[in-house]
């Protein structure tokens, strides 16, 4: 299994600012992902964080809004740029070894944008 930590655990931000969320895994994982859960909605995949190259974004998400880095196999960051109140969500990172294996999640970052 993998233990995943995230920083910060929560934040309150002003609109127009940016926040970078860090995700650290205690062991090497093949794949890392970023999800968000808006109020009342399901967990939705934002992007796959690729080591040493540009992330792969899902439909509706773009790099300019959600730049992602993954410099090595155990660390990734997600930046929420030029925030608006609609970005208020829980942001989670996850990691997995191989296909069909358990995907482990961090505890989430609770973001409120005023």
Partner 1 sequence: ILNVEQSPQSLHVQEGDSTNFTCSFPSSNFYALHWYRWETAKSPEALFVMTLNGDEKKKGRISATLNTKEGYSYLYIKGSQPEDSATYLCAFNTGTASKLTFGTGTRLQVTL
Of 22, 43, 57, 69, the residue at the interface with partner 1 (CB under 8 A) is: 43
CA distance 81 to 19: 7
Q: Does 31 bind partner 1 (CB under 8 A)?
A: yes
Query: Whole-angstrom distance between the N-terminal and C-terminal Cα of the chain?
Result: 37
Residues in the interface with partner 1 (CB under 8 A) total 27
CA distance 71 to 52: 5
**Contact region for partner 1 (CB under 8 A) — 11-19, 62-70, 75-83, 97-105?**
97-105
When the beta carbons of 3 and 16 are compared against partner 1, the nearer one is 3
Task: Give the side-chain half-sphere CA count within 13 A for 38.
Answer: 9
DSSP string, 13-51: E-TT--EEEEEEESS--SEEEEEEE-TTS--EEEEEEPT
Of 24, 48, 69, 79, the residue at the interface with partner 1 (CB under 8 A) is: 48
Of 45, 57, 69, 79, the residue at the interface with partner 1 (CB under 8 A) is: 45
Residues that bind partner 1 (CB under 8 A): 4, 9, 31, 33, 35, 40-45, 48, 56, 58, 92, 96, 98-108
């Amino acid at each position: 299994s993998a233990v995943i930590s995230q920083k910060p655990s929560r934040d309150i931000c002003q609109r127009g600012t940016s926040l970078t969320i860090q995700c650290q895994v205690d062991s090497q994982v093949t794949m890392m992902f970023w999800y968000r859960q808006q109020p009342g909605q399901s967990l939705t995949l934002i992007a796959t964080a690729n080591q040493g190259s540009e992330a792969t974004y899902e439909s509706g998400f773009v790099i300019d809004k959600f730049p992602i880095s993954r410099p090595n196999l155990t660390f990734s960051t997600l930046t929420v740029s030029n925030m608006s109140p609609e970005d208020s969500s829980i942001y989670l990172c996850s990691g997995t070894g191989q296909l069909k294996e358990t995907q482990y999640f961090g505890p989430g970052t609770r973001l409120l944008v005023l």
